[in-house]
């Protein structure tokens, strides 16, 4: 991923003490340390399967300030107004929440793989220890002290952020809900951006899995077989590079083939759960859907095997015994390894 930082500004928000420090000047993005900190955080989060896609509501204040920023000639652009709006909205949320917090907010004008983007990164402050050097009576004393404003390291993933395409104003964001004035509110989606968003690929694929399992079990079916069919369908299509998106309704046709009532119930439930018609195939989705089937038994034995082995008697046999118990037979093993 190629990331270029054009402009960036940082504001300090401490809802615990009620102190805000809004910057009048932008960060020096030519400084290698500053540039590296921002680009590494963007690189770590901007293609995450946890990002939701969406669009602004027509009255979004963020959209208004962003358009105002972009109307200026590129060499006359100043992030101060847009970033102040963002910082004030975020502070409004964290200062009104049941659990107050402190954070730094970085707003930057950047390119991500040549796409111009406005990025907002909410960097939560953490408490940590640092050293302090004291000099007393001509002697040096090294001490440990608490530091209350440590930013996330570049190895950590920021949990709340937004990326807005400067060309079409499409939005990707990651956020979390908190109690504000008795309501459950998403700080980034509801307060900062004021938009409408789909489930993220991670949320969507997990929801599809849960609904498929629930529909199968409630109708007396085999949830392991449902999972195996789903994984096998995805694996085959991913390997053939057949699509960049998963369509849950097409999954239903394969998984519930020959069971129209279950298929219709599954489709109805995924619509009720607001699962998008197309779920982007991300690394998380690929890993989730190509992983092995895992079975846990009530006697503590766990099995993990490729989805295509299920119901294939050359490898796995599920035997229903006369006494109501179940036996699992594994065939064609050449070698056992102790891991």
Per-residue pLDDT of the chain (339 residues), as tens digits, is 899 999 999 999 988 888 899 999 999 999 999 999 999 999 999 878 889 999 999 999 999 999 999 999 888 888 999 999 999 999 999 999 888 889 999 999 999 999 999 999 999 988 777 777 888 788 888 887 777 678 888 888 899 999 999 999 999 999 988 988 888 999 999 999 999 998 888 888 889 989 999 999 999 888 888 888 888 887 777 665 555 778 888 888 888 988 999 999 999 999 999 888 888 877 777 777 777 888 888 888 888 888 888 778 888 888 888 888 888 888 888 888 877
Q: What is the pTM assigned to this prediction?
A: 0.75
Point out the domain boundary residue: 139, 164, 197. 197
Question: Measured between alpha carbons, how far is residue 213 from residues 67, 95, 210 in Å?
Answer: 45, 41, 5
> What gap in Å lies between CA 177 and CA 184, rounded to an integer?
6
Question: Measured between alpha carbons, how far is residue 123 from residues 5, 13, 166, 177, 274 in Å?
Answer: 17, 10, 22, 16, 30
Predicted local distance difference test score (pLDDT) of residue 240: 58
186: in domain? yes
Do 190 and 221 lie in one domain? The reply is: no
Q: What is the DSSP letter of 309?
A: G
Contact 232, 239 (CB under 8 A): no
| Number of domains within the chain | 2
> What gap in Å lies between CA 28 and CA 44, rounded to an integer?
22
> What gap in Å lies between CA 88 and CA 73, rounded to an integer?
25
17: in domain? yes
Residues 6+ apart with CB under 8 A from 41: 121, 123, 152, 154, 158
Do 100 and 213 lie in one domain? The reply is: no
> What gap in Å lies between CA 248 and CA 155, rounded to an integer?
34
307: in domain? yes
Report the candidate in 63, 48, 125, 57 with the shortest Cα–Cα distance to residue 94. 125
Quote the domain boundaries for residue 87: 3-124+151-197
338: in domain? no
For tokens 């007396």, the residue is 220
139: in domain? no
Contact 66, 119 (CB under 8 A): no
Do 207 and 109 lie in one domain? The reply is: no
290: in domain? yes
Do 25 and 107 lie in one domain? The reply is: yes
């Amino acid at each position: 991923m190629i990331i270029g930082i054009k402009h960036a500004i940082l504001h300090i928000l401490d809802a615990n003490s009620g102190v805000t420090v809004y910057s009048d000047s932008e960060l020096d993005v030519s400084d290698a340390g500053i540039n590296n900190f921002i680009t590494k955080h963007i690189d770590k989060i901007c293609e995450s399967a946890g990002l939701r896609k969406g669009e602004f509501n027509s009255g979004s204040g963020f959209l208004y300030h962003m358009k105002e920023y972009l109307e200026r000639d590129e060499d006359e652009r100043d992030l101060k107004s847009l970033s102040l709006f963002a910082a004030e909205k975020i502070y409004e949320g964290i200062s009104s929440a049941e659990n107050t917090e402190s954070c730094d907010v970085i707003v930057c004008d950047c390119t991500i793989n040549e796409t111009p983007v406005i990025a907002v990164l909410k960097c939560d402050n953490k408490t940590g220890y640092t050293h302090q050097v004291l000099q007393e009576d001509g002697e040096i004393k090294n001490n440990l002290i608490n530091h209350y404003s440590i930013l996330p390291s570049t190895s950590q993933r920021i949990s709340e952020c937004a990326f807005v395409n400067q060309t079409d104003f499409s939005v990707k964001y990651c956020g979390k809900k908190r109690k504000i004035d008795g309501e459950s509110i998403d700080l980034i989606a509801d307060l900062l951006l004021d938009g409408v968003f789909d489930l993220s690929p991670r949320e969507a694929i997990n929801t599809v899995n849960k609904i498929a399992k629930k529909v199968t079990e409630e109708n007396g079916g085999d949830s392991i077989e449902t999972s195996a069919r789903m994984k096998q369908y995805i694996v085959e299509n991913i390997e053939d590079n057949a699509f960049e998106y998963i369509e849950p309704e097409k999954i239903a046709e394969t998984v519930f083939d020959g069971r129209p009532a279950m298929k219709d119930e599954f489709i109805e439930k995924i619509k009720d759960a607001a699962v998008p018609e197309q779920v982007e195939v991300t690394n998380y989705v690929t890993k989730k859907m190509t992983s092995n089937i895992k079975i846990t038994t009530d006697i503590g034995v766990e099995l993990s095997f490729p989805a295509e082995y299920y119901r294939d008697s050359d490898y796995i046999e599920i035997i229903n015994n006369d006494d109501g118990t179940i036996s699992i037979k594994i065939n064609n093993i050449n070698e056992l390894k102790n891991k």
